[in-house]
Amino acid sequence: MEMRKLGQTGLEVAPIVLGGNVFGWTADKETSFAILDAYFEAGFNAVDTADVYFRYGPGMHGGESETVIGEWMKDRGVRDRFIVITKGGLEMGPGMEGLGRDYLTRACEASLKRLQTDYIDVYMSHAPDPKTPIEETLEVYQSLIDAGKVRHAAASNYSAEQLREAAAASGQGRAAYTVLEPHYNLAERSLYEGDVEDTCVEQGLGVIPYFSLAAGFLTGKYRTREQLEGRARGGSAGSYLTPKNLELLDALDAVAARHGSTPARVALAWLMARPSVTAPIASATSLTQLADILKSVELKLTPQDHAELER
């Protein structure tokens, strides 16, 4: 398996980044450990998480995912061989929100404690903070980098204009964003393709898309509203349930059948083939799901496949 350079960070990541949003939520600790073990033992090496995972679930408080990952890395002794990507800035409680000097520093410290590590490989602004000047945010990142607590600063959900603004503000005591985590998949292309993608290429950013499987929709298991009932991620997947996207599922089925593959593998292979994409993020709640996801690195789509999917 060929590793991929993550923009200009100097880090090399596997073609699939493991999504940690399900750990401690829809995957309990035992299942999460099993998934992390299988992922790592297969030669893959990066996990994406955030402090708010999964604050939005019933009875959850946030930090559950980071806690599970930290316990796993400590128990397995793999921290120096594993790339940790996490995010901060979204609301974690009263007075705990934003990318300002005071809170972002505290958020980083809290993530480090939960992850049981001295440093975060890629620390990411989870979303833009209109209340904080970008200059201040980048100064905080530089101070965290100088202290050895963060290796690289990054951003998620930023527009092309916001990326350009951040690039212009970097330097002279301010860090630069080196990675973008956008919402991007076969069913949602407009948020990334065009100005954002062009800006990422111009700036040499690593790109690791989230919702690579559209919250499970692109696996083909959700084709009716009834199939979404009672599902933890039903609301997210349901937003993709349109006539156009149901036609996309038919195309995925046809391409998968030609290759003796699955819709999930095809959707991930399509993303991996995009020149500007470093590695898609994909999560799994079982070893069966993980095995299917990881096999996508072996799938090479043909020009006919690409044309059919993109039509």
Q: Is the pLDDT of residue 11 over 90?
A: yes
Evaluate if residue 224 carries a pLDDT over 70. Answer: no
Q: Quick one: pLDDT band at residue 117, thresholds 50, 70, 90?
A: very high
Q: Averaged over 120-144, what is the pLDDT? A: 98
Q: Which two tokens stand for residue 23?
A: 């750990």
Position 267 in a domain? no
Determine, yes or no, domain membership for 139. Answer: yes
In a domain, 226, yes or no: no
pLDDT class of 2 with cuts at 50, 70, 90: very high
pLDDT at 18 over 90: yes
Structure confidence at residue 286 as a pLDDT band (50, 70, 90)? very high
pLDDT tens by residue, 188-198: 999 999 999 99
Q: Tell me, what's the pLDDT at 230?
A: 59
- Give the Cα separation of 221 and 223 in Å (integer): 6
Q: What is the CATH number of the domain that holds 50?
A: 3.20.20.100
* Residue 42 counted as domain residue: yes
Q: Is residue 260 part of a domain?
A: no
Q: Which residues are catalytic?
A: 53
pTM for the model: 0.95
Residue 80 lies in a domain: yes
What's the number of domains the chain is made of?
Answer: 1
* Domain assignment of residue 306, yes or no: no
Does residue 235 surpass a pLDDT of 60? no
Give mean pLDDT, residues 85-97.
Answer: 96
pLDDT for 237 equals 72
Domain, as residue range, for 49: 4-217+274-300
Does a structural domain hold residue 308? no
